[in-house]
C-alpha cells in the first residue's frame, strides 16, 4: 500500500495522461464547453471581422474628437468692402477659423483671391458668423472684377469708407 500523497500524485498523472492521449475533436465534432454547445472557436472567424471594424471605428471617432490639429481648407468669400482705393476687406465664410489669404493674382481684367481657414473635422463652424481678411492691392480695383477662386464666382464689392 502506498502513502496517500503518492496515490494522489499517481491519480493526477493518470488523468494528465488520459487528457494527452484523448483523441482531438475533428472538424465535424461538436465541442461542449462553457461557451455553449457550438464552441468558442467555431464562431471566431465571424467575430474577428466585426472586432476589427469596431476597433477601427472607435479609433476613427476618437481621432475626430480628440485630434487637436484643425484642417486648413479654402473658404468662400461672401462679399467685399473697400477700405481705401487700394485696400479691400474680404468677408469670408469661416466662423473664427483664423482665415488667411492664400492667393492674390491681379490682372488687367480681374483680381483673383482665395482664402484658407481652419476647421476641425466634425465642427466646421456653425455658419452664423463671418471673418474679415484685409487685402492690399497693387492698383485700385477700378473696373476690374473681384473673383473668388474657391467658388469661381465674382464677388460684389461695396464701399465701406
Chain segment 120-138, per-residue pLDDT in tens? 655 555 556 789 999 999 9
The beta-carbon contacts of 58-64 under 8 Å, at least 24 apart in sequence, are 63/121, 64/121, 64/122
Q: What is the chain's alpha carbon radius of gyration, rounded to the nearest angstrom?
A: 36
What is the mean predicted confidence (pLDDT) over 10-31?
A: 63
* Helix (H) and strand (E) counts in the chain: 2, 9
Q: Is the pTM of this model over 0.85?
A: no
Helix (H, G, I), strand (E, B), or coil: what is residue 67?
coil
Amino acid at each position: 500500500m502506498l502513502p496517500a500523497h503518492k496515490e494522489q500524485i499517481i491519480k493526477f498523472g493518470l488523468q494528465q495522461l488520459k487528457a494527452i492521449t484523448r483523441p482531438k475533436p475533428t472538424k465535424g465534432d461538436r465541442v461542449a464547453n462553457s461557451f455553449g454547445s457550438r464552441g468558442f472557436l467555431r464562431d471566431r472567424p465571424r467575430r474577428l471581422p466585426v472586432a476589427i471594424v469596431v476597433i477601427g471605428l472607435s479609433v476613427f471617432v476618437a481621432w475626430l474628437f480628440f485630434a487637436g490639429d484643425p484642417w486648413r481648407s479654402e473658404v468662400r468669400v461672401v462679399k467685399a468692402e473697400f477700405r481705401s482705393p487700394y485696400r479691400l476687406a474680404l468677408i469670408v465664410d469661416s466662423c473664427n477659423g483664423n482665415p488667411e489669404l492664400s492667393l492674390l493674382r491681379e490682372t488687367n481684367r480681374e483680381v483673383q483671391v482665395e482664402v484658407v481657414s481652419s476647421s476641425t473635422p466634425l465642427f466646421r463652424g456653425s455658419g452664423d458668423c463671418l471673418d474679415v481678411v484685409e487685402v492690399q492691392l497693387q492698383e485700385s480695383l477700378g473696373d476690374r472684377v473681384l473673383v473668388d477662386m474657391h467658388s469661381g464666382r465674382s464677388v460684389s464689392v461695396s464701399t465701406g469708407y
